[in-house]
Structure 1
């Protein structure tokens, strides 16, 4: 049986140990390597073949190194490996950047019990977007129909601003804001 070769890119010892142990228990998965830095990950990918990269997003402080690695691999075509982002972060911008840079899935560490299934799904090109990211992606797809101005107004409304406050912030009349909110509602209803 051919094994799924996984490179774990993780700097936290707790997660390195636990994920390595979990992967080691699977008959169809082989841990091809464990690295802790962006440089080590890029170097490893030049010397070993891997099918799946299980990538922590923050390797040093809050630098989003995992997204940088994915961006570099995408830019250079340096790897055909599929990337699954694994992180404690769940901000919309980080989820979106992960997928834009080539990740096939995004799992928060609080859902780490789903990693094995996600690895198999990615390997067999059947990646279902994990619930940690799915709702956010669906929302962003729907919101992509908004113009930049409508999106700005939508975001302000989501942050709790009322029509008057939005009009003051954007230097527009309240009637203009009302009109744009109506347009936003119409677009979001489909």
Structure 2
């Protein structure tokens, strides 16, 4: 019974990983367009955050969520132990997805707002930071959410391997 609950929960990991994979691919193609690339170079530090969002969606987004689904699926098979606290899987999923998606959207927003201000002549670091600080705060909260989801996932897997009940067929 528990294996069925876990497997049903994993479908949303695959959906989200697929959507984030598409986001990563589309953003990569857009970043390679000449006009966008010129903006990223001219935007100073803001352009780097946009590029960073692309990497973040790839690593923490589709690759991380896909790997988590695989680990959740394979741990019971290879270890013979059930995943402990199966309801935690949904919490891990939602915290991870919201943290990644909103955090990356904030990185892109900071890059666009800060980059446009930089191109328009705002060169003073204090002024640029003041313009993008609300987005940075949101991005920081999302980074903590992603870290929390990752820690919850790791603890759940390690405890499952150490103390999970034997899987019954």
The TM-score, its normalising length taken from structure 1, stands at 0.27
Indicate the structure with greater helix content.
2
Q: Which has the larger radius of gyration?
A: 1
Q: With CA pairs under 8 Å and 6+ residues apart, which has the higher RCO, 1 or 2? A: 2
The TM-score, its normalising length taken from structure 2, stands at 0.29
Indicate the structure with greater strand content.
1
